[in-house]
Structure 1
Amino acid sequence: MSKTVQTELLKSEARKLLIESERQPLSTMPFHIYLAGPSVFYPDVASLSAQLKADCRKLGMEPLYPLDNEIHQEQLTPAEMAQAIAQANIGMIQQADAIIADISCFRGTAMDVGTAFEIGMAVQRGIPVISYTEAPRPDYLTRVKAVDSDVRQTQGIWMDAVGMIEDFGLQENLMIACTTEYTDQGAAMALSMVRVLLTGPLAVKRC
């Protein structure tokens, strides 16, 4: 079975689970899912995180959200605070059975770098990773060309002022795109795909 066929089967099964979970929450499974992404920086983080965690629990899984870590800030320097946050997030990822990661553009044409680190750590652990955006979007090269009028093609290679631009038709840098399954249908779909991977017979191969 090709990776494309596997991916479509995964998404098909995930859609069925989503419909089922809308009727009633799915049976609880002993899985913890790390919810990665730049939402921790958004002004409406409280409502966003509440929705993410509710969607996770509706699918019978327990959410691990970075801001739920208890960091005692008293008498910490900014550097010490940063270190404490980093270690707490790493600890959560080490507990997780899978992660979903919002790879929406963040302050530029690419995803949040902290989220990229968290994806890499999860991939190294060998746990499922589903990357997602809330809506379809152009591939990486198209996004770069849209904001930089100086992008040009030289001998078949796309270049900007810095150098070569990846041109694989992927959503993100190949190290993200080739190590995660991706959906443009939002976090709930990503969570449903994770549940399928954790409970079903599908063994999705990476490219």
Structure 2
Amino acid sequence: MASIYLAGPDVFFPETIRNRIEATKKAILAEHGLEALSPCDNNLDLENTDNPARAIYEANRTLMNQADGLIANLTPFRGTSADAGTIFELGFMTAQGKPVAAYTTCATPYNQRVSGGSETDTNGTLVEGFGLCDNLMLDCGIEANGGAFISGSLEWRSEGFTPEESFDEELFRKAVEILSKHF
């Protein structure tokens, strides 16, 4: 059975919401004969380690090395772009040549979120004007690796999205369907 690493800001959501979302993701993957590997599955004793951050990194890296593919929640998190840790995980898996798929519940293109569509931001720096879901390296990297970046219908708000708004079961199902074709 192929295993899929679940990347996203979901690990930061309140426990009850996170557990509900994760259970839904695991059930959908199981419907397709795929096993979920989640950072939340790591059983770490962070209170008795000298470097808790490093312990989490190592445990997640071990899971990614075990996984056959990845699905990333790239919904903007704490800003105009996806969670930085999720972006790292996506790059890590892509560099290994593993199939990846991603989704965002946000319909507003990256350049609109950053600068309202202007060619530069308020600091005068260039903004990618391609109308993609996020930075071109994410969108194009996912597609170059045989995956897809699926976007939802929520319009961007500067205050961001609630945990509930950051997950859409139908978008996740589409990502799973695309990824399952690799196995």
* Aligned equivalents of 2:49, 2:60: Cα separation in 1: 17
Q: Is the Cα contact below 8 Å between 1:158 and 1:167 reproduced in 2?
A: no
SS of residue paired to 2:120 = strand
Name 2:86's counterpart in structure 1: 115
Q: Is the Cα contact below 8 Å between 2:46 and 2:55 reproduced in 1?
A: no
Q: Which of residues 56, 66, 74 is equivalent to 2:29?
A: 56
Name 1:168's counterpart in structure 2: 130
Residue 34 (structure 1) aligned with residue 5 (structure 2): yes
Name 2:150's counterpart in structure 1: 183
* Aligned equivalents of 1:60, 1:126: Cα separation in 2: 21
Matches within 5 A, 1:27-106: 30-43=1-14, 44-77=17-50, 80-106=51-77
Name 2:145's counterpart in structure 1: none
* Aligned equivalents of 2:121, 2:52: Cα separation in 1: 39
The one-letter code of the counterpart of 1:76 is T
1:22-68 CA-partner distances (Å, limit 9, x unpaired): xxxxxxxx200001100010111111111111111111100001010
The one-letter code of the counterpart of 2:41 is D
Percent of matched pairs sharing the same residue: 35
* Aligned equivalents of 1:46, 1:116: Cα separation in 2: 22
Could you tell me how far 1:193 is from its partner in structure 2? Answer: 0.9
Q: Which has the larger radius of gyration?
A: 1
Shift >4 Å, 4+ stretches: none
The one-letter code of the counterpart of 2:52 is M
* Aligned equivalents of 1:115, 1:49: Cα separation in 2: 16
Aligned-residue CA RMSD (Å): 1.6
Name 1:6's counterpart in structure 2: none
* Aligned equivalents of 1:34, 1:123: Cα separation in 2: 12
Q: How many pairs align?
A: 158
Any gaps of 5 or more consecutive residues in structure 2? 143-147, 152-169
Name 2:107's counterpart in structure 1: 137
SS of residue paired to 2:60 = helix
The one-letter code of the counterpart of 2:174 is M
Could you tell me how far 1:75 is from its partner in structure 2? Answer: 2.2
Name 1:23's counterpart in structure 2: none
